[in-house]
Amino acid sequence: MDLGLKNRIARAVRGMAAVVVAAQIISFQGCIGPQFEGDSLDRVMERGKITLLTRDSLHTHYIYRTQHAGFEYDLASAFADHLGVELEVRSVKEEKLFSLLRSGQGDFAAAGIRVTPVRKKLVDFSEPYAQTQIYLVAHKDNRLILSVDDLKEKTVYVRKGSAEEYCLRRLRDSGIDFTIETRRKTVDNLLSMVENKQIELTVTGDRTADLYRRYHPAIQTLFPIGDSMPVAWAVAPGQASLREAINRFFEEAENNGAMHAVNTRYFGNGTYREYLDLRRFHNRIKSRLPRYQDMIKDVAREKDLDWRLIAAMMYQESHYDPEAVSSTGVKGLMQVTRTTALEMGIENRLDPRQSIEAGADYLNKLIGMFPDVPEPERTRLALASYNVGYGHVRDAMALARDLDMNPMVWPTLEKTLPLLRQKKYYSKAKHGYCRGYEPIHYVNNVMAYYDILRRKAVVLRS
């Protein structure tokens, strides 16, 4: 072909592409709508209600047993309490978050939003409350991809329009030759496809991966893609007063431990050792738990407990082995001590029904012994007491007060319980020496298993 003709065709193609891009930008701006005017914080305080825009996922917001839950929801709820207003939740598709925010149909957006240069042109962001890095994710059996150079001629699947897609495109633009396939799927969907070997590779943030590896134990994170990215809340452009209120709340939550508590609740229990055991846990949910599930549910209804919590404890105690006996002589599915068996009125600790009833009764008793502690911390403290004894937990709370720490939250006791191994602290404690690290591992493992079992009942709205 004539070189001049080639050049004319290339110019024509570039011109057509520019028209298409311009049309897309005009269309996108049109769907955003006009930015509303006025001080949003004043409006929030006047109506006594603040509207959260979020999206449904296990790490942002979901409904469990008719109750709202999720990291972003819990943090937003604390923010509403901080302002003294009611929280209204609007769960929407991710691609609509910013358009609805700019048109005044929500006051702020909190959905694990990673701050990118493109997004900064659309909305204003608070100070970041976390940093995250995007990681490549593969099946645990994959041993062939060790660096970005191994991505050559590979295909990586990613959520369409996500920050992960932005990072992948930047990586490809740097000269790494691989294919990007976008899908309108959730993080959970893509990770499940990796676990089931339907696709080879996807990407997600490290915080998200820490949470989802509980539910997909056959996945692994390989290496980071790009630099660390801030995670923040968003407000409509020009809403400086609301943005500053959010920033003040984040600072206060960081100082008083509230931020750490919410982080621990959703992201803080993951360890590599735990992931190794999770595959066994998922297997035993299928192979052993069904033998006792109806029995657990019956007891849970009688004791007004969540059966999944009892099942989580049971796995931690005995791995669903009714004849389990520890080196210290505790026995059965719930590893009941002889003293507890007498106190709870059971005769045979190796009988599955009696063991479950005794364990549930004792847990209920312990929950009732912390009337001064609000949920969900009360349950965590009761679990710690089930493991190491009520007196030691109260000693750890007393030590927290002495150290000017909040004794009512689990993250504080994660610090003070281990101190009771040191003579300078346990010599002054009412109940003496405590194996302080054991209840920490116990509680965090039980809550991780409980979270996995609850997930089977999560209702996600589209």
Catalytic residues: 317
From residue 421, how far is each of 328, 337, 403, 418, 425 by CA, in Å?
Answer: 20, 23, 16, 6, 8
Sort 375 into a burial class: Cβ within 10 Å, 0-12 / 13-18 / 19+. exposed
Single-letter amino acid, residue 261 = A
- Taking the CA of residue 384 as centre, how many other CA atoms within 13 Å lie in the half-sphere pointing to its CB? 32
Contact indicator for 187, 57 with CB cutoff of 8 Å: yes
Of 54, 108, 61, 58, which Cα lies nearest the Cα of 80? 108
Overall size of the chain counted in residues? 462
> What gap in Å lies between CA 104 and CA 408, rounded to an integer?
38
At 67, give phi and psi (nearest 5°).
-105, 140
Side by side, which strands form the sheet with 62-64? Answer: 67-69, 62-64, 458-459
From residue 353, how far is each of 297, 318, 331, 359 by CA, in Å?
Answer: 11, 14, 13, 10
User: Can you list the pairs that 255-258 forms with residues at least 24 positions away whose Cβ atoms lie under 8 Å?
Assistant: 256/406, 257/405, 257/406, 257/409, 257/411, 257/412, 258/78
> What gap in Å lies between CA 362 and CA 364, rounded to an integer?
5
